[in-house]
Structure 1
């Protein structure tokens, strides 16, 4: 990956050290690492173990193949934030004043991070928030017309 850039952006010794530290947490049955414990807890449930959560293994384990570098082009998949609105769904500017003619509904309205389904909402559970904010904006527009 360093050959693809003008300056070497990856410190290979630091990267190896981080991977080895993570591998040590996987090997430790008493690990206090939050992510490792989350994976182990998830795998206690049969449905998650069979279809959702992969069995943890050491990254440097030769049985799992060589490391492969992948160049990513990061895009936004979900903001869980969005445009600030008032109770009528009107988009607000930086001073919290309504922007004339601009409304926001659905995920762009920013309900995802703790709305009707809570902070731990799963994929596909945002439909309720989309319907609710869409209805709110529709009613607000109908009153305005």
Structure 2
């Protein structure tokens, strides 16, 4: 699938795109792209977010979920228009923040731009891995 086809799929049906993204990522082949003991939601989220930005283009932005009152990143997502994307699919910001408050027990979560947050020294970051994620998604996401 081309980058333009991926962007079009996201524009035309964000929920379908999110479902396809989740299905592609939670496979043994996709998990093998991650270094070490990481998963998409426990250490690999920044690698995924940067790969998604490469795939979606300059309109997409990496955002961090932070604990209210801090700039310490808990999770990374991609914002494309109103939609927020991660390994769980596509959702609106309110849904994302509720999930992080209710399921992950982060008090008063909010999103912040990547450039404004503190990233843990243990958070993996690799242009090579993010490019592999981009290429994998290009090959695995279904046609619009």
Identify, as 1 or 2, the structure richer in helix.
Answer: 2
Fold-level similarity (TM above 0.5)? no
Greater share of strand: 2
Higher relative contact order (CA 8 A, sep 6+): 2
TM-score normalised to the size of structure 1? Answer: 0.22
TM-score, with length taken from structure 2: 0.22
Which of the two has higher C-alpha Rg? 1
